[in-house]
Structure 1
Amino acid sequence: MRTPYRQTDHAAELARLRAAIEAAGDVVYEWNLADDTVAWLGDTAAMFAPPRNGPPATGDALASCVHPDDVRRRQKVLSDHLKRGLAYDVEYRIRTEDGQYQWVHDRGAVDAGHGGAVLKLSGTLRLVTDRKEREARLEYLANFDELTGHYNKVRLRDDLDKTVAEALRTGDGGAFVVFGIDQLAMINSAYGYQAGDRVLCELGSRLDECLRASDTIGRISGDRFGAVLARVDQKTAVRAAERVVHEIRRKPVETGAGPVRVTGSAGVCMFPDQATAALDAMAKAEGALRQAKVQGRNRCGLYEVTEAQRETYRASMGIGDEVQQAMKEGRLAFAYQPIVAAGDHTPVFHECLLRLHRPDGEVVSAGKFVPVIEQIGLMRALDRRVLDLAVDELSKYPDATLAINISGLTATERSWQRALVAKLKDRADLARRMIIEITETAALNDIDETARFISAAQDLGCRVALDDFGAGYTTFRHLKALTVDIVKIDGSFVRDIAEDPHNQLFVRNLIALARSLNLVTVAECVETAEEARVLAAEGAELLQGYHFGRPSLGAPWPERPPAKVVDLADWDFPTKNAAR
């Protein structure tokens, strides 16, 4: 016998429905289109707080709460639903009674009567303010520098691309100018990072004051800003850059550590006369900035090409063509140099050093073509080839652990990071046997971007080494921020260490700094047994240099099967363990 439905059952069911809706954070509404009344179910106080007058009682009242910028979009979606049967699914902002706006996700459907006439619209509102704010922040960070609020490097380069293209089309001149704070690393070390950040923000403000409103400004790395100046001649561009340099030094920057006197330098590249692409203009402006710093800093440099420089540039382009052809024909290969344990000199991993094989059989070392490739803007393509070669070698030799070198430009280039992820995201067996080396000076140029790159590589299982450690201004704070796994002590401090007490003291301090952060230390350029002995005594864990082997072509593993290469992931570092 069928049990009669009781009113108490309906009340319990409604209570459960109300509880479920409130738990989900939704508000249910029924909009009667005939008399324009709206009935609500759920926590309307959170949606329209504070509830002095309650939620909107009519459709018109609800529409009046919608943000003016969102009214047309909501109305179009509603009209398309009522007239064409398209889904009613829209996000918009509603005003609460305290005058604030909250984002809501509104989904619903009409209920038509027997004659087909629309009777009511039933739907749900869900608060999505947190998600929209996160999305807005991500969109902001994709275009703007978080510290200064100016464009970031990617957005600035896009604007430069468009401006250069426009200059090529119209024949108007323009300039790209790079501004850099002189000795920012020293300011950070002397006064702290907060003072350095304040200096950077002040530089951005002074750029805003000195340049035109139509000029585009962006932060392109740790201590440098770039500016795109459209429709200017060389004289005007140089005068603008010099005005900024003067304004930087004119008055100290007020920081929490007190006033800090700062100087800056600038580099100017004119387009399209000196550059016909954004990357070319940026590279040449950077070159002019470096020249200004070499000449004493606190000045403006202009990219200029002498006849001798033109000859050098033509030769460089020839080398670039040769390297590109070698990449196409598979004539780039690795030479391997062992990195050994300081105790028993067992190979722990090998560093991959690039070599170019010419058609006549000559082998060209990386030092003869990599600097040129960096200057003419082909380093990203070369580093991509290095990645491909390393992955192939690791796949071919399961006993190998390899270290590859990439340029500082590549370390902050998102496309190379994406290639790394694509190659290794499902290959943990390869990732744990790959070490990526970046130079200390390149890492310090843009610590934030480099730290992000290191984190992404480590998430895959790779290890990251800081090369030329000690050659720059690395501090305890820098090492904490960068979170590398290995530091390679610059060879200039290793040479003659057995006789030079100053080098011994410096290396001892570098090793102590690394050990305090539980980092593995490698001493480079070890050429004698006595140097190896002194370094081991000082606490270096790994050694590299001609004393243990010169870079050699061909994989060393098949030739020496008994001396299996030790996987860095499994190797026990006696010195580090003893320190613990």
Structure 2
Amino acid sequence: MWSDGENGAPFGAPPPDRRGMEATVRDAVAQGHVSLAFQPVVQALRPDRVAFHAGLIRVLDPQGRPLPEAEVAAAVEATATGRELDRLALRLGLEALAAEPGLRLSVGMSARSIGYPRWTRALREGLMRDRTVGERLILEIPERSALLLPDLVAPFIADQARQRISFALAGFGAGYTALRHLTELRFDLLKLDGGLVRGVARHPQNQVLIRALATVAATFDIFTLAPSVDRGEDADWLTGAGIDCLQGSYFAAPTMHPPWVSLGPRAQA
């Protein structure tokens, strides 16, 4: 769920009314006005092949329109509403995995939700209902969240590895990177910060940094994913730089009505 640099507000933009947004999100969650959007993540060397889908939480206004993702994340990430939103995202993701046996799906979460009983119960119950979903589930934790609570994240990853759940570290390279944590937290996938990726074919400085991050990932035998790939020239450059997977509007936009279901799932609080 949480913004990893893909959809941040423009530099210099006035801060959103976080209290008002938190109340709006809290009301939407209570009324079940939450859905998942699905976006394919493709193999860089074979972009015609989908590696998995990203399950992106969407909070809907009364007209069914998604609220701005970055503003939602900023308003509720550290609140009880944020924990409930993570729970609903997980539940919707588990339901989608159970309904579609061929689906592999990533679902975002904050590290704070690891200690939230309703979230952990949703995970446990989903795994018990369908034993196949664990190996098809990728839990995506923002870097800034994971590195704030490494003593909570490390044992959680180790414990869930028994269920064959994979883990992605999102927003990698946004400025919080502590390389020593890569040996402790055992992530399977590093998702680069969207701000580094966007327009990379025309930004030599970002190219240097992405090549360095790709080298770090390869050193630790971790797959890499570049989000926010909106141009063909960026996709070509990232593929040449050795990035494993690509995600962005160049390949497909997120949709709440994926081809394997007639209607996108809707949460009930």
The TM-score normalised by the length of structure 2 is: 0.83
CA contact (8 A) 2:18 2:71 kept: no
Q: 1:318 to 1:418 in 2, by over 3 A?
A: closer
Q: 1:543 to 1:431 in 2, by over 3 A?
A: same
CA contact (8 A) 1:457 1:464 kept: no
What one-letter code is carried by the residue in structure 2 that aligns with 1:434?
Answer: L
Q: 1:444 to 1:421 in 2, by over 3 A?
A: same
What one-letter code is carried by the residue in structure 1 that aligns with 2:251?
Answer: F
Aligned pairs for 1:154-173 (under 5 A) are: none
CA contact (8 A) 2:197 2:227 kept: yes
Per-residue deviation, residues 512-542 of structure 1 (Å, max 9, x unmatched): 1111111110011111111111111111010
Is the aligned partner of 1:339 residue 2:41? yes
For the pair shown, the structure with the greater C-alpha radius of gyration is 1
Q: Pick the aligned partner of 2:165 from 462, 470, 482.
A: 462
Q: Pick the aligned partner of 2:244 from 536, 541, 546.
A: 541
Per-residue deviation, residues 100-142 of structure 1 (Å, max 9, x unmatched): xxxxxxxxxxxxxxxxxxxxxxxxxxxxxxxxxxxxxxxxxxx
1:350 maps to 53
Q: 1:323 to 1:370 in 2, by over 3 A?
A: farther
Per-residue deviation, residues 218-251 of structure 1 (Å, max 9, x unmatched): xxxxxxxxxxxxxxxxxxxxxxxxxxxxxxxxxx
1:324 maps to 29
2-structure distance, mates of 1:428, 1:417: 16
1-structure distance, mates of 2:78, 2:243: 35
Shift, 1:420, TM fit = 1.5
1-structure distance, mates of 2:195, 2:180: 23
Where relative contact order (Cα < 8 A, 6+ residues apart) is larger, the structure is 2
What one-letter code is carried by the residue in structure 2 that aligns with 1:336?
Answer: F
1:556 maps to 259
2-structure distance, mates of 1:553, 1:393: 12
Shift, 1:451, TM fit = 0.7
Q: Pick the aligned partner of 1:383 from 74, 86, 91.
A: 86
Per-residue deviation, residues 311-333 of structure 1 (Å, max 9, x unmatched): x5762453144223332xxx311
CA contact (8 A) 2:98 2:130 kept: no
Secondary structure at the aligned position of 2:216 is classed as: helix
What one-letter code is carried by the residue in structure 1 that aligns with 2:86?
Answer: D
What one-letter code is carried by the residue in structure 2 that aligns with 1:332?
Answer: V
Aligned pairs for 1:209-288 (under 5 A) are: none
Shift, 1:555, TM fit = 2.1
What one-letter code is carried by the residue in structure 2 that aligns with 1:509?
Answer: A
What one-letter code is carried by the residue in structure 1 that aligns with 2:250?
Answer: H
2-structure distance, mates of 1:317, 1:334: 19
Shift, 1:349, TM fit = 0.9
Q: Pick the aligned partner of 2:20 from 315, 321, 344.
A: 315
What one-letter code is carried by the residue in structure 1 that aligns with 2:30?
Answer: Q
Per-residue deviation, residues 37-72 of structure 1 (Å, max 9, x unmatched): xxxxxxxxxxxxxxxxxxxxxxxxxxxxxxxxxxxx
Q: Pick the aligned partner of 1:429 from 111, 115, 132.
A: 132
What one-letter code is carried by the residue in structure 2 that aligns with 1:337?
Answer: Q
1-structure distance, mates of 2:149, 2:79: 21
Structure 1 residues not aligned, in runs of 5+: 1-308, 560-580
CA contact (8 A) 2:111 2:145 kept: yes
1-structure distance, mates of 2:19, 2:245: 42
2-structure distance, mates of 1:523, 1:353: 16
CA contact (8 A) 1:514 1:521 kept: yes
What one-letter code is carried by the residue in structure 2 that aligns with 1:517?
Answer: F
CA contact (8 A) 1:428 1:461 kept: no
Secondary structure at the aligned position of 2:31 is classed as: helix
Q: 1:514 to 1:425 in 2, by over 3 A?
A: farther
CA contact (8 A) 2:22 2:81 kept: no
1:219 maps to none
What one-letter code is carried by the residue in structure 2 that aligns with 1:341?
Answer: Q
Q: Pick the aligned partner of 1:362 from 65, 72, 76.
A: 65
1:446 maps to 149
Q: 1:391 to 1:503 in 2, by over 3 A?
A: same
Secondary structure at the aligned position of 1:369 is classed as: helix
| Percent identity of equivalent pairs | 32
CA contact (8 A) 1:488 1:522 kept: yes
CA contact (8 A) 2:21 2:71 kept: no
Secondary structure at the aligned position of 1:354 is classed as: strand
Alignment root-mean-square deviation, CA = 2.4
